[in-house]
Amino acid sequence: MKIKTMKNKIVMSLAAVGAALMVSQGVAAEHGAGAAAKGPSTNVAWTPEQLRLVASGDKNRGGQLNRDMFCASCHGDQGVAPTGNWPSLAGQRAEYTFKMLKDYKDGKRHGSATAEIMVQVAQQLSDQDMADLAQFYASFKLPSLPVGVSFDAAKADQAKAVVTRGDGKRLVAPCQACHGPNGEGAVTDTPALAGMPPEYFIKTMHEYKSGARANDVYSRMRLIAKTLSDEEINQMAHYYAGMTAK
């Protein structure tokens, strides 16, 4: 996409963002209870063609997009969020980032105010743009916490049992079995969680718990989140937040 065309798109997206912020209040109220869109939870399927597309992303172009599309204002110049209520994307698995952008564009992820912003942003992105951005964020190492955000080591410790050993009674596998022993995520699209700001982690898990977020295939995360207490979610948030702290 040429720069001139992109700048036009940016102006349009800024306007769209403003509109979205106004509209999203009402939208959130309507979708908040988890009325998922019809059809599959996501249109993304990990066929070899899809994987090839994501792998072909150009991280330099992605860096340019990060600046020009103002992604950096929420997600940081290098994928580390400036405040605790946005997710850091540094070191995130490219397939996951790509899928999220696609899900936003297809309306599979929506509902909250911030989700609606992303839905509007994603409309501006082609599949190649998404792949480029995904590779850009993936090129960094896992993020440290945003400035001013800290984690509670005591809470983190309490999460260890479920994170490392799961809970057979609730049919919950250990978080680390999918998300990795260092919170780095895993093939193909299981996201990295290390260094995630606790506030964002908690928000996400509650969205799964209520069904407001419904882009997980076969409801895998929704089913798990439903079995977890708020206290456990809180502890896990601090566990993962603290993973990249030295």
Partner 1 sequence: MATIHIDPLEKRWIWVVGGIVGLTIGIQVFYAATAAIHPPSNVEVIDSAKLHLGGEFAEDKLGVKKEADGSYTVTMVAARYGFYPQSIEVPANTPVKLRIASLDVLHGLHVPYSNMNVMVVPGYVSEVHTQFTNAGDFPMICNEYCGLGHDYMYAKVHVTGGKS
Partner 2 sequence: MSITAEQAASLAAASRGGASAVVAHGNKLGLWGMWVAFLALLLGLPMGLYQAAERSGFFPGIENTAVYFASTSTHGVLLAFVLTTFFAMGFGWHTMAHTLGKKPFFGWLGFWTSVIGTAMAAAVLLTGQASVLYTFYPPEMAHPLFYIGAVLLVVGSWMWVADMIIGFTQWRKENPGKPVPLVMFGTTINAMMWGWTSLGVASEALFQLVPVSLGLMPTLDPGLARTLFSWTLHAIVYFWLIPAYIVMYTILPKEAGGKLFSDEMARVAFVMLFIFSVPIGFHHLYMDPQQAAGWKLLHMFGTFMVAVPTFITGFTVLASLEVAGRLRGGKGLFGWIGALDWGNPIVVAGMLALVMLTAGGWGGVINASYSMDAMVHNTQWVTGHFHLIFGGTTVIMYLAGAYWLWPRITGKELYSRKLAVAQIWMYAVGMITLTAPWHMLGIYFQPRRVSYTDQYAAFPEWAQTWGPYEAVMIVGATIIVLSGILFVYNLFMTHFNKTPAANTKVEYAVAIHEPMRVPNILNSLSFWNWAMLAYMIVSYGYPILQFAFIGTPGVVPWGY
Binding site for partner 2 (CB under 8 A): 46-48, 51-52, 165-169, 171, 174, 177, 181, 186-188
Contacts with partner 1 in 150-179 (CB under 8 A)? 166, 168, 171-174, 176-178
Look at residue 217 and give the partner it binds from partner 1, partner 2, none, a contact being a CB closer than 5 to 8 Å depending on partner kind: partner 1
Look at residue 68 and give the partner it binds from partner 2, partner 1, none, a contact being a CB closer than 5 to 8 Å depending on partner kind: none
The secondary structure of the chain as a DSSP string is --HHHHHHHHHHHHHHHHHHHHHHHHHHHHHTT--PPSS-S-S----HHHHHHHHT--HHHHHHHHHHTTTHHHH-TTS--SSTTS---TT--HHHHHHHHHHHHTTSS--SHHHHHHHHHHHT--HHHHHHHHHHHHTSPPPPPPTT----HHHHHHHHHHHHH-BGGGTB--HHHHH-TTS--BTTTBPP-TT--HHHHHHHHHHHHHTS---SGGGHHHHHHHHS-HHHHHHHHHHHHGGG--
Does 211 bind partner 1 (CB under 8 A)? Our answer is no
Q: Kindly tell me which of 8 and 182 has the beta carbon lying closer to partner 2.
A: 182
Residue 108 near residue 42 (C-beta atoms within 8 A): yes
Report the residue from 2, 5, 26, 47 that binds partner 1 according to the rule CB under 8 A: 47
Q: Kindly tell me which of 46 and 140 has the beta carbon lying closer to partner 2.
A: 46
Does 217 bind partner 1 (CB under 8 A)? Our answer is yes
Look at residue 223 and give the partner it binds from partner 1, partner 2, none, a contact being a CB closer than 5 to 8 Å depending on partner kind: partner 1
Q: Give 48: exposed, middle or buried? Use CB within 10 Å, 0-12, 13-18, 19+.
A: exposed
Does 74 bind partner 1 (CB under 8 A)? Our answer is no
Candidate ranges 12-20, 66-74, 213-221, 238-246; the one touching partner 1 (CB under 8 A): 213-221
Report the residue from 21, 43, 68, 83 that binds partner 1 according to the rule CB under 8 A: 43
Look at residue 220 and give the partner it binds from partner 2, partner 1, none, a contact being a CB closer than 5 to 8 Å depending on partner kind: partner 1
Does 41 bind partner 1 (CB under 8 A)? Our answer is yes
Q: Which residues bind partner 1 (CB under 8 A)?
A: 39-43, 45-47, 50, 166, 168, 171-174, 176-178, 188, 217-220, 223
